[in-house]
Amino acid sequence: MTCPKCNHENDADARFCENCGTQLLPANDKKKTKPFVKVLLALALPIIWIVPFATGYLLLEAELGRAASCFITVLVIAIAIYLCLAIIKKLTAKKHAKGMLWFISAAIFLFTGIYALRMPQCRYEFYAWTYYDGLRLVYNDSKAGLIEFSWWQKEIVPCKFDDVHMFRDAIVVKLDGKYHLRNRQGRTIPGTFTNVGYHQNSNFFFHEGLGCVQFNQGWGFIDRTGKVVIPAQYDDAWPFTDKGRAAVYIRQKGWGLIDINGKSVVPCQYRTLTDDLRWQGGYDREPDKIKD
């Protein structure tokens, strides 16, 4: 019988090691883990695996700083890895089974750790609680940006803008008093604007394929690529409606309606937008302009 302490070979019926005196236990006398304990330990494994995820989401509510959030998350991951490996060692005796479970646990917690460190509380000073149409508003150094709803939480718009407005077909960003447009993937649409117009009761920026924007020389309309379709020749303008009409204003003339080709439908001769003119244009309320 081999001594577990000094590895000295003793007689098969020896009770104590001849070399160091350590008590020798027969193989059938070794302590075995009871079956119900094994079941409980096995059930504990998935619970422990979930803990880092739960911790990350709880940190969202706690509103801790980035350093504290990262430290707590990594600490919880380390504790969970230690507990899982301790349970695996208790449950298995075969070396190849242990190795496989170690590998699986390491892979799971590597993924968990990367995911936890990608969470908003570890990367940003402030973040919106919910996602809007797959995007979440985030802030760093008082600058706004957007991240997408995915396990990697990719940054769609970097945190370098003074303000960000989300629509289902476009993103409006403001920097140094000027507005810029981006598509939903974050790619920039050419053009710099002093203001933009949109409908209060709509989640879309482009209507009939055209967006209402203000250049230095006046209001006009662009398409989804940023190309000017209707020149900036109006002193004020409202976005297009489902009727294919847009209200436009020319100083010293008045309000009128145009179609998507820029042709006049109702001449600019009304001092105010009358109820009849609103009805013809398809407006149920006054659209918004983004204000400072």
How far is residue 1's CA from residue 9's CA, in Å, rounded to a whole number?
Answer: 6
CA 114, 55, 44, 150 torsion-angle sign: negative
Give yes or no for a contact between 185 and 193, defined as CB atoms under 8 angstroms apart: no
User: Model confidence at 111, in pLDDT bands (50, 70, 90)?
Assistant: confident
Give yes or no for a contact between 79 and 50, defined as CB atoms under 8 angstroms apart: no
Give yes or no for a contact between 278 and 286, defined as CB atoms under 8 angstroms apart: no
Q: Which of 154, 159, 164 is nearest to 126 (CA)?
A: 159
pLDDT for residue 3 is more than 90: no
Give first-to-last CA distance, the chain, whole Å. Answer: 85
Q: Which of 122, 116, 120 is nearest to 145 (CA)?
A: 120
For 6-30, what is each residue's pLDDT tens digit? 888 887 777 788 888 887 766 544 4
Amino acid at 292: D
SS3 115: helix
For 241-255, what is each residue's pLDDT tens digit? 989 999 999 998 999
How far is residue 221's CA from residue 262's CA, in Å, rounded to a whole number?
Answer: 9
Output the average pLDDT for the chain.
80
Q: Phi and psi dihedrals of 207, rounded to 5? A: -125, 130
pLDDT for residue 116 is more than 90: no
pTM of the full structure: 0.65
DSSP string, 51-102: HHHHHHHHHHHHT--HHHHHHHHHHHHHHHHHHHHHHHHHH---HHHHHHHH
Q: Taking residues 184-199, report their average pLDDT.
A: 91
